[in-house]
Amino acid sequence: MSYLRVDEVAELVGVGDEAVRCWIDQGKLTAIPSASGRHWLSGRELARVLCDETAVPGAPNRIRGLVTRIVQDRLLAQVELRAGPLRLVALLGTETVRALGLTVGCVAIAAVPSTQVVVETP
Confidence of residue 59 (pLDDT cuts 50, 70, 90): very low
Question: Is 55 among the domain residues?
Answer: no
How many domains does one find in the chain?
2
Distance of CA 32 to the CA centre of its chain: 18
For residue 98, the domain's CATH number is 2.40.50.100
The DSSP output letter for 104 is: T
Q: Are residues 70 and 110 in the same domain?
A: yes
- Pick from 94, 45, 49: nearest CA to 70: 94
Q: Are residues 86 and 115 in the same domain?
A: yes
pLDDT, averaged across the chain = 84
37 backbone dihedrals φ, ψ, rounded to 5°: 95, -5
Q: Which domain holds residue 11?
A: 3-43
Give the span between the Cα atoms of 57 and 34, in whole angstroms.
Answer: 36
Confidence of residue 115 (pLDDT cuts 50, 70, 90): low
Q: Are residues 38 and 66 in the same domain?
A: no
Q: In the prediction, which pLDDT does 19 show?
A: 81
Q: Are residues 105 and 72 in the same domain?
A: yes
Q: In the prediction, which pLDDT does 56 show?
A: 31
